[in-house]
Amino acid sequence: MLGKPWFRFLLLGLVLYAVGQWAFPEPKPTLGPPNAERLRAMADNYAKFARSAASPALIERFIESELRDELLFREALKRDLHYRDAAVEQRIIRNMRFLDAQTNVSDAELVEQGYALRLHLTDEVIRRRLVQIMERLIVATTPPADPSVEAVSARYQRDIDSWQEPARYTFSHVFLSADRANEMPALIAAVQTQELDPGAARLLGAPFLSGYTFARQSAEQMTRVFGDSFAQALMALDVTAGAWVGPVESAFGLHYVFVEDYEPLRTLELEEVAERIARDLVREAEEQAVADWVELAMTQYEVIRS
């Protein structure tokens, strides 16, 4: 065989082809640069809510996020996922009817026309939808294992400070506005001598728009209703369930408070939060699975970041 000319030519051709593929590989498809308009919108939204300009590090994160979503969008299109989702079809129908409100064609025809017009490539809602579908597909193909008991326990110990349950107060109150503060001693004396319950005692006070009975209120919740001075003053008192305390001053006036129940500050037990921790671990594992997939898929592209 080696002596035959045609075989030599064939062998030489194969060698030259292999060398060409090695020396001049097929160029990778490009990914990027990120959409400048979307990056600007991200930066503007951040500045609006944070009241400061986005830092260079944050802009870099926006760029990475945009490239990630663009890659997932392209991979979803490559798998024809847009043809299999009812929400995408409904969005195309809506857009087509917006373009021509008088059209009488069927939904199926509108979908076909919308795809022909490539509406699925320019609609932001469809883009976000396909990115989400692609993320779910990645997770479905590489589902994370259920968190072990040891992993849940380790996360509980790591975040032990975040599992503190604040002190909570269940109470009723009698209110007097600031201009009637001088009446409070007489009101307290009447409540004590007549041993009035909160309902009867309330009749001696003034109306309070936010109500009179509050269940399991933390300091933060009390601050939203009464102001910080009330919350701090009540928490500073040595309270006993089933007893009156006060008067307690708020931003509105004075309050004579009947503490129905008091739950002191405590740290939640592992058993109380294990399910929440497990959900968090699963969510983090899914996010990591997507991140790993994206990192690997990025190697198949020529990434242009700017």
Mean pLDDT by 10 residues, the chain (306 residues): 57 60 68 86 88 90 93 95 94 92 90 93 94 95 90 94 91 91 90 89 89 91 91 89 90 92 91 93 94 93 86
| Best CATH choice for the domain 167-264 from the list 3.40.605.10, 2.60.120.260, 3.40.50.1100, 3.10.50.40 | 3.10.50.40
Model pLDDT, residue 83: 93
* Domain coordinates in residue numbering, the chain: 36-144+289-301, 167-264
Model pLDDT, residue 10: 61
Model pLDDT, residue 239: 85
Model pLDDT, residue 79: 94
State the DSSP code for 35: P
Q: Which two tokens stand for residue 73?
A: 């969008």
User: CB within 8 A of 202, min separation 6: which ones?
Assistant: 172, 174, 212
- 207-229 burial: b if 16+ Cβ within 10 Å, else e: ebeeebebeebbbebbbebbeee
Residue with tokens 């809506």: 94
Instruction: Give the DSSP H/E element, type plus range, for residue 248.
Output: strand 243-249
User: CB within 8 A of 151, min separation 6: which ones?
Assistant: 281
Model pLDDT, residue 289: 93
Model pLDDT, residue 23: 57
Model pLDDT, residue 277: 95
